[in-house]
A and B are shown apart, each in its own frame.
Chain A
């Protein structure tokens, strides 16, 4: 595997079984994502986008095939090893923000750093990331005191605070209006360009597709299309 390859999937299949019913979410997916990718996975509902992100995020394991993330064969890892991989190397951004409601923005970001075992510097790091995302004035607010766009930016801050190599974002703009979506996507692309963090999105949002430099289309659990745009067409400004 080349050192620049972050995610490598070979024949990845995922089957969900409910009673006697089997649902094929992914059917032999072969794909690679490289360091610095800013990729969107698109496709209709039920095409397997979220399933694929869950597998790459080591939240779940494939039924068949080989999936290596940051050089780790996910199917061979224990739950604890997968938790450690997520904690130290992967950031998550969810559609519904999923911030801890009883903690402030600052504490939400600090929490991940604390889980990583960061010491006294975690507070400064959290402040730094929040400031970078234009949230320094909101650090002491709880999620219910923030707008949707602000909450999602806090979620991004939480995802990138621990300097992950890879950030997985599942429909990050689904609950945001156009303006906030643009702000968020621009911020994520800046992080990608400035810090080299790889972003993989699952999305239905054409704006995300506009910002993405690579667009992978999934249909019925298979890769239907994989297009890498040149830099001239990937700009959204």
Chain B
């Protein structure tokens, strides 16, 4: 295929002021590389938050009684939770699913008391699904078939001044509103590194919860999906497949404060990326405009020879396109190493938190923030760079197209 003279003209024009073009390309590359790094950071942060939320016992999805969406009461139960759980476990998009029954209660030991949210769990799946209780500091986790046992967080144990095998008095309101109590033996103590979380962990078996509250079954089914990116589609499909008296909620609906935090981060990043790209765009526009002014006579001659405005604009945009492709490539060269390091090594924030774990909304977050790195970097680099260069070429192109050959050539005389 023959390259048109217009294309050659656009290419060669970039070479006539090589230093200006190189500086422009470096500017685009730096801006683009910085944006890739920042987007990688926030994408990684969002992914990390979602993973942390899912692995802190909240899951990506939660199946709750339809009524719960309006009143959010822990006394509501899923009537047919076993069959729904079966259906969830047979769904190919669901990695794991576990039942939970929550109830506010009071733990007491001697004269000390503490208020907690007691969670009734299925011991066989909970430990695999919930990183907060995966590795206990002391003892062991709840076991199926063993009654009257409890796992608490380190902070609860310290506040109540209890040890393994001590017996706690637990008091909750039962289905009729009457106080119901039981003695539970501490079989395990969890330590997450976050005081906030260690003050909130109180797990008992669902069987004990049923016995204590006289509320039958599970209040919710928590599920972790295989592909978080397809979460919306999975939730929609489950919604359609499950009975109408239950609702499927995503983590954004379950933990709106976390979702809004992630959204704020993403918005800030977009804003920063926008500002960086505007600065780059203005820089290139200025350089392009200078080039147009220098080539005014040339454009006048081309116009005199019969070149139409549209062709001139096309040539200028082609120059922007070439600049954008080179700038995007340089952006990748500049942006990939730090983004890769961020994704593989991450940034350790533990020293800023005094070595303790970071928790937000009862979610344990890793102190090492890892960015995202993937194929998305490649199209994004070129999208950013081409958008900047083509937009910044528009005004110079329009300005060039307005060159009046008679006036420009007369000035030369």
Give chain A's interface residues, CB within 8 Å of chain B.
Answer: 50, 54, 57, 59-60, 80, 83-88, 90, 92, 94, 96, 98, 100-103, 107, 110-112, 114-116, 120, 123, 158
Contacts and interface: CB of A to CB of B under 8 A. Distances in A.
Given A96-B412, A98-B297, A98-B301, A103 B12 contact: yes
Given A102-B13, A102-B16, A103-B9, A94 B306 contact: no
A84 B309 CA distance: 11
A103 B304 contact: no
Nearest to B306: A87
29 contacts: A50-B410, A54-B406, A54-B410, A57-B304, A59-B409, A60-B406, A83-B303, A84-B306, A86-B305, A87-B306, A88-B306, A90-B306, A92-B305, A98-B297, A98-B301, A100-B9, A100-B298, A101-B298, A102-B12, A103-B5, A107-B8, A111-B305, A112-B305, A112-B306, A114-B4, A114-B5, A115-B306, A115-B308, A120-B2
B6 interface: yes
Nearest to A103: B9
A102 to B, nearest CB: 4
Given A54-B406, A100-B298, A115 B305 contact: yes
B304 A102 contact: no
A111 B2 contact: no
B351 interface: no
Contacts of A120: 2
B338 interface: no
Interface residues of B, number: 27
Closest 7 CB pairs of A and B: A87-B306, A102-B12, A60-B406, A59-B406, A86-B306, A98-B301, A111-B5
B302 interface: yes
A83 B404 CA distance: 11
Contacts of B9: 100, 102-103, 107, 111
A59 B405 contact: yes
B19 interface: no
Interface string B248-276: 00000000000000000000000000000
B72 interface: no
Contact of A94 (B2, B301, B406): B301
Contacts of B305: 86-87, 92, 111-112, 115, 158
B304 A100 contact: no
B311 interface: yes
Contact of B311 (A60, A90, A92, A115): A115
B229 interface: no
Contacts of A88: 306
B230 interface: no
Majority-rule SS of A interface residues: helix
Interface in B150-176: none
Interface in B376-400: none
Interface string B297-327: 1100111111110010000000000000000
Contact of B306 (A83, A101, A107): A83
Contact of A114 (B6, B308, B409): B6
A114 B302 CA distance: 12
Contacts of A111: 5-6, 9, 302, 305
Contacts of A101: 16, 298
B8 A59 contact: no
B322 to A, nearest CB: 13
B413 interface: yes
Given A59-B405, A59-B409, A86 B5 contact: no
A12 to B, nearest CB: 15
Contacts of B8: 103, 107
A122 to B, nearest CB: 8
Residue among A60, A94, A100, A103 having the largest count of chain B Cβ atoms under 10 Å: A100
Contacts of B304: 57, 59, 86, 92
Contacts of A87: 305-307
A50 B306 contact: no
A120 B1 CA distance: 10
Contacts of A85: 306
Residue among B298, B405, B409 having the largest count of chain A Cβ atoms under 10 Å: B409
B137 to A, nearest CB: 73
B15 interface: yes
A110 B5 contact: yes
Given A94-B301, A115-B308, 13 more contacts: A80-B308, A83-B308, A86-B305, A88-B306, A100-B298, A100-B301, A100-B302, A101-B16, A107-B9, A111-B5, A115-B307, A116-B306, A120-B2
Contacts of B303: 83
